[in-house]
């Protein structure tokens, strides 16, 4: 191999190495950007999920409070009715149910 050809081969190898190094840098930069964007998207999705969860918990709490208030109002109404009943009416109700419960 003469000197010119050897010099051209060495020059071509150097250009290939330099090109490969540039591509490695580009690929690394691309990976860093993709990772950064992915982490940002994950963070945003996590926030959305937390907000959704908070909203569902708040709604469930409100529904439970409303149901409890309804049960309490119903119990107070029934208690009021029982308080206003005379002893004779209550005895009649109890006897009716006793007859259904106890055997003949």
User: Per residue in 72-97, pLDDT tens?
Assistant: 999 999 988 888 888 888 888 888 88
**Domain annotation covers residue 17:** yes
**Domain annotation covers residue 95:** no
**Domain annotation covers residue 104:** no
Residues spanned by the domain of 43:
3-78
Q: Return all residues near 87 (Cβ < 8 A) that are at least 6 apart.
A: none
**Domain annotation covers residue 102:** no
**Domain annotation covers residue 89:** no
What are residue 102's phi and psi, to 5 degrees? Answer: -80, 145
Domain total of the chain:
1
Residues 10-53 have pLDDT tens digits of 999 999 999 999 999 999 999 999 999 999 999 999 999 999 99
């Amino acid at each position: 191999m003469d000197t010119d050809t050897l010099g051209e081969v060495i020059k071509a190898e150097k250009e290939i190495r330099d090109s490969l190094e540039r591509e490695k840098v580009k690929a690394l930069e691309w990976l860093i950007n993709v990772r950064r964007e992915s982490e940002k998207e994950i963070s945003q999705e996590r926030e959305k999920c937390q907000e959704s969860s908070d909203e569902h918990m708040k709604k469930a709490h409100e529904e439970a409070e409303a149901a409890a208030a309804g049960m309490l109002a119903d119990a107070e109404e029934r208690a009021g009715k029982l308080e206003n009943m005379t002893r004779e009416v209550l005895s009649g109700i109890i006897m009716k149910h006793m007859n259904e419960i106890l055997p003949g």
